[in-house]
Amino acid sequence: MKRVSDRFMQLGVSAGIVGMALGVMMGKTEDFTLAPVHAHINLLGWVSMLLYALVYRAVPKAAEGRLPTIHFWLNVVCFLAMIPSLALYLMGNKAAMIPLALSSAGGWLSMVLFAVIVFKATWRE
Ligand code: HEM
């Protein structure tokens, strides 16, 4: 994928809009049931995706090869599965725990992959 950093940046700012809008709505309705959803959209979406984008820009070697593309898709698919699963779970749907657990584990794996990418690109003999 060309410019994995651009894609992460675009998704990060989009997540920021959605996450902050949910924060505004929670404040307006005084219903904080979905506060953890708001926190995860902002922290895994806006903050983490922007950080991935900035690292890929600051360390161009990290953006080389196929691993960054795998990191991007694993991260995005797990994020998009985790957010609605978490919302359903918090609204009382206990069966949502299965996709929630799977997508959370996948999100963690994408972080491990990112760590491998960063170590490979920054390791000095
Ligand atoms: C327009 C911007 C934002 C608004 C209006 C907003 C609003 C809120 C509200 C109303 C709560 C619930 C407070 C409570 O339970 O008493 C909350 C919780 C929280 N927010 Fe935000 N927020 C905003 C941006 C952000 C951002 C940018 C982040 C992180 C990068 C963030 C992270 C959190 C966290 C970690 C919690 C605690 C969640 C929990 O208790 O489970 N918020 N926010």
pLDDT at 6: 97
The pick from 14, 34, 38 for probing ligand 1's pocket by mutation, whose C-beta has the most ligand atoms within 8 angstroms, reads 38
Beta carbons of 66 and 51 less than 8 angstroms apart: no
For the CA of 27, the closest atom of ligand 1 is: 10
Residue 8 lies in a domain: yes
The H or E element spanning position 41 is: none
Residue 77 lies in a domain: yes
Q: How many domains does the chain have?
A: 1
Cα of 28 vs centre of ligand 1, distance in Å, is: 13
Residue 125 lies in a domain: no
Q: Which residues of 87-97 are buried (b: 16+ CB within 10 A; e: fewer)?
A: bbbeeeeeebe
Query: Is residue 25 in contact with ligand 1, taking CB distance under 6 Å?
Result: no
**DSSP 8-state assignment for residue 60:** G
Residue 64 sits at φ, ψ, to 5 deg, of -85, 150
Residue 83 lies in a domain: yes
Cα of 39 vs centre of ligand 1, distance in Å, is: 6
Cα separation, 125 vs 118, whole angstroms: 15
**DSSP 8-state assignment for residue 30:** T
> Where in the sequence is the domain holding 107, given as residue range(s)?
4-120
What is the pLDDT tens value at each position of the chain, 125 positions in all? 669 999 999 999 999 999 999 999 999 999 999 999 999 999 999 999 999 999 999 999 999 999 999 999 999 999 999 999 999 999 999 999 999 999 999 999 999 999 999 999 999 86
